[in-house]
Structure 1
Amino acid sequence: MNDYIKVGKIVNTHGVKGYLKCLPLTDDMERFEELKYVYTEKDNTKRKLKDVWYRNNMVYILLENINDMSTAETFRDSYISILEDQLRELPEDSYYIFDLEDMEVYSDDGEYLGKVKEIYQTGANDVYEITNKNKSFLIPAVKEVVKKVDVENKKMVINVIEGLLE
């Protein structure tokens, strides 16, 4: 299952020693401390994590063989990833964003509603953007609405409460 999972987007450099400023693509940004290595998208290279620290909801990392600002600058606007076997086990009724993307969504009476195109992390609960042709609507990721998520078959069933699809 050698699938790459994006865990951060490199948005800038920091300092002159090659640190990369990353926007974390994970709920638990301190997860980076557990990682021994990541893959850089730009050159598809496995790199050892030499240092990690945090400030203002950003992750600052120093990677093997990126030792100066000029080299670090070439990685801007690219991603760092891990392999699927580096993922943590999630609690029941929790899902990785990549598992939900493009999932087909049906009402609890079997009507096809569209596909999950975007997931917004709002703090209180996630919100899924469902699109079908030219229509788009937002549904809250709460138990009253999302009734079933079948990751294996890429299918979600929701309870269409009054006003939800308007």
Structure 2
Amino acid sequence: MEEKYYKVGTIVNTHGIRGEVKLKATTDFAQERFAKGQLVYLDMDQSQYQELVIKASRPHKGMWLLTFENYADINLVEVFKGHDLYVSGSQRQDLAAGEYYYDQIIGCQVVDLNQTVLGEIIDIFTTGANDVWTVQLTNGKEGLIPVIADVVKEVDVAQKRITIEVLEGLFD
């Protein structure tokens, strides 16, 4: 079976002249993912992953600054700009009950309590208080689902199906 890779960030720029890159992280585990010695995979060309070893990392103004072993010059990392970093499936951590990775939720079918199909989850964003899932409704419009117990009743990632209670005004 082919190894799966999961995005943990995007390299948005270089920083300085000593091979440091600025990364916009898309992982909840940045401290662990970007620790010294960790393996990450750079997607340089549609499914061609280049293995990199983290030499050093530090948070900086809402981003992460990373250096990689054997890449100590800006000219070597300039080509990384705009590319995504990944971890392998074997590097993913187990989550607590009721917690999910984005790829487990995106693509799930959304149904109401009567099992009527409402649409499909297409995006996730965090508001601070709770996550919000964007659903592409069957009528072509987009709706927002707050991830709270009053709305989300069941999440079945194995079946890619989420059951919600449609509160008044939810999709108006």
Q: CA deviation at 1:63?
A: 1.2
Instruction: Write the letter of the residue equivalent to 1:60.
Output: L
Instruction: Write the letter of the residue equivalent to 2:49.
Output: N
**Alignment correspondent of 1:2:** 3
**Alignment correspondent of 2:144:** 138
**Alignment correspondent of 1:64:** 69
Equivalence map 1:1-166=2 (5 Å): 2-31=3-32, 32-33=34-35, 36-42=38-44, 44-133=49-138, 134-166=140-172
CA distance in 2, matches of 1:84, 1:74: 25
Contact between 2:36 and 2:57, CA under 8 Å: does it hold in 1?
Answer: no
CA distance in 1, matches of 2:116, 2:143: 15
Where does the alignment leave 5 or more consecutive residues of structure 2 unmatched? none
- Encode CA deviations 1:141-165: one digit per residue, 9 max, x unaligned: 1111111111111111111111112
CA distance in 1, matches of 2:168, 2:150: 12
Aligned residues: 166
Q: CA deviation at 1:64?
A: 2.5
Instruction: Write the letter of the residue equivalent to 2:8.
Output: V
Relative to structure 1, the CA distance from residue 35 to residue 113 in structure 2 (aligned partners, 3 Å threshold; closer, same or farther) is farther
Q: CA deviation at 1:35?
A: 6.2
Per the normalisation by structure 2, the TM-score is 0.91
Q: CA deviation at 1:47?
A: 1.1
> Sequence identity, in percent?
33
Larger CA deviation: 156-165 vs 42-51: 42-51
Relative to structure 1, the CA distance from residue 109 to residue 34 in structure 2 (aligned partners, 3 Å threshold; closer, same or farther) is farther
